[in-house]
Every structure is written in structure tokens, then in C-alpha cells.
Amino acid sequence: MTALQLTALTDFILAALAFFCAGALAARPAQPRSAGWYWRGAMFCLALAALLGGIDHGFFEETALPRMPIQRGTWVVVGLMTSALLLTLGAQFLSPARQGLVRAVAAVQLLAYLLAIAVVDSFIVVVINYLPVILAMLAFNLRGMRKGSGHWTLALGIAVLLLASTVQALGYDGFSPIDHNVLYHLISMPGVVLLYVGSRHLKTKP
């Protein structure tokens, strides 16, 4: 099996895991605009992005079809996930007055991001949009652990995803045919489980 085929396979496995977690979250009651409610959207978008990635690598890239439409679709979903993470942060850690500001920032950020990926053909736009939000989520969660609003499983899950992203960005391919993309998926899987476990500690009321 080639590295590209392994990338597609592990993308699909990651998508299945994330969809399962998203479905389990949907079964738990959470009121609209609560942290738990926004988190459902983030988990669903994570699953959908992995699914689209698997389709891209397994079908479009494997058969040399034009990849721009599926890539842009994946980038849009990652942008929606980033917005959901930012809204989760506001609902979980900030006062009601500041949550309104966060919603406005999330809307402006998403619009700017969609415009950017329409004109810039580079994955770096996705990273620039996503990285500050996930780092802020980690920082607020660590600080919130002293007050009871954060939890170590959420912090660890975020740290695992950051580790996976770092390995992918470094392009480490020392376990051929397991390349940096496959490693990203494999490392992300326990991170998704940790995020699901940690999400049970998110607020379910706005």
C-alpha cells in the first residue's frame, strides 16, 4: 500500500471516529449558544473535513483529477470548524457581554478567511486562520482549570492535535510508507477521543 493510499484510509478512519463522537455529542442535551452546542458543530466539521480529505487523497489525487474544488471545500469546512471553536471558547470562558463580541469577531474572521482562500492558493491561509484560535482555546482551558471551567482532558486533546499538526508541518517521513500525513491522522485519533471525553465538561446552558 502506498503512502497516498494509507493517507486516504487513515483519513476515512479518522472521519468515522469523529462522526461517531459528533453523533454521541448530539445525543446529549445542550441548549443553543452554549459551549456544548457550539462544540457539536466543531466536532462535526472536523469529521467532515477528514471525510473530504479522504475523498481528495483517495480519488482525486490518486486519479490525477483536478483537486481545487474538493480542496477548497475542505478548507471551507475547516474554517467553519475554527469559527465553532472560537464560539465555544466564548461561551465556555467569557462573560455574556464578551460573548457578543466573540460572535462578531467570529463572523468577521470567517468572512475574511473565505475571501482569502478564494484568492490565495496556499494551505498557509488555513493555518493562519486556525492556529491562533486553537492556541487560545488551549490557553483559556488551562487557565480555566483553576476555576472549574477548564478540564485536563480537553487541554490534552488540544495538545495532541497540535502535536499532530506539528508533525505534519515538519514533513517527517521516516516510517515509509507511513508519511507525515498518515502520522497526522494516527496522532489525531486519540486527540479526538480526548476532546470527546473533555467535551462532557463543557457548559450546556448559555
- pLDDT tens-digit series, residues 149-167: 999 999 999 999 999 999 9
Using an 8 Å Cβ cutoff, are 195 and 154 in contact? Answer: yes
The CATH code for residues 3-199 is: 1.20.1070
Q: Which three cell numbers stand for residue 95?
A: 462573560
The overall average pLDDT reported for the chain is 93
For the beta carbon of residue 119, count every other beta carbon within 10 angstroms.
7
Task: Report the phi/psi class of residue 24: left, alpha or beta, with left for phi > 0 and alpha for psi in -120 to 50.
Answer: alpha
- Rounded Cα distance, 90 and 10, in Å: 32
Among residues 117, 116, 140, 45, the alpha carbon closest in space to that of 83 is found at 45
Express each pLDDT in 34-60 by its tens digit: 999 999 999 999 999 999 999 999 999
Q: Could you state, in order of their start, the residue ranges of all structural domains in the chain?
A: 3-199
pLDDT tier, 206 (very low <50, low <70, confident <90, very high otherwise): confident
Length of the chain in terms of residues written = 206
**Are residues 7 and 185 in contact, defined by beta-carbon separation less than 8 angstroms?**
yes
pLDDT at 170 over 90: no
- C-alpha span between 181 and 3 (Å, rounded): 9
pTM here is 0.92
